[in-house]
Amino acid sequence: MTPNPVGGSRRATIAAIAEEAGVSIATVSKVLNGRGDVAPDTRERVEASLERHSYRRRGKRKPPSAGHIELGDPRQLFRRTDLVRLERPLAPTMDYYAATAPHSEAGGYINFMAEDDQHRIEDNYKGNYDRLVDVKRKYDPNNVFRVNQNIRP
């Protein structure tokens, strides 16, 4: 084994590499893991120190878990059309909603209604809807108090 920067013939540690390169342990870890968020000159210093000390990772790198995506350099994210659907970013969610809607009960939780849920408002208020419409007509005929759960007068 080559001498480590701290002295002796032990295997160089990440901490010793970081100290020699003048960076944090986290930065050395980022370089070792191929992360893209390290400045090129810093990466070169760390890699030179790793090379000088013949640093090798222990064991094999674990394969990514199911569903894990290696994004690499975050600046490249929007160039990867296979990862980001710019034309329909909510498509998977909307497709899931459309597929499960026929199997779901009518109505929903009133506080989570969105603007596009107006067609479900009667189902959400269930048996109280007609009474609430009468109250709305009497006390708010101009629809001043309107939010996502709006009952129109």
- Say what the pLDDT of residue 93 is: 78
Distance CA 8, CA 101 (A): 67
pLDDT in tens, 19-55: 999 999 999 988 888 887 888 899 999 999 998 988 8
Q: State in Å, rounded, how far the first CA of the chain is from the last one.
A: 82
Give yes or no for residue 5 having a pLDDT over 70.
no
What pTM was computed for the model?
0.35
Predicted confidence (pLDDT) per residue in 89-140, tens digit: 777 777 787 888 888 877 777 777 776 777 778 888 888 889 989 998 999 9
Residue with the larger pLDDT of the pair 111 and 141: 141
| Dist CA 153 CA 74 (whole Å) | 50
pLDDT band at 73 (very low <50, low <70, confident <90, very high): low
Closest CA to 73 of 36, 120, 112, 24: 36
**1-58 has which CATH code?**
1.10.260.40
Judge contact between 77 and 85, C-beta under 8 A.
no
State mean pLDDT over 60-86. Answer: 52
- φ and ψ at residue 33, rounded to 5 degrees: -95, 5
pLDDT tier for residue 1 given thresholds of 50, 70 and 90: very low
Q: Which residue has the higher pLDDT, 111 or 4?
A: 111
Q: Where are the domains of the chain?
A: 1-58, 103-153
Residue 115 φ/ψ, nearest 5 degrees: -55, -35
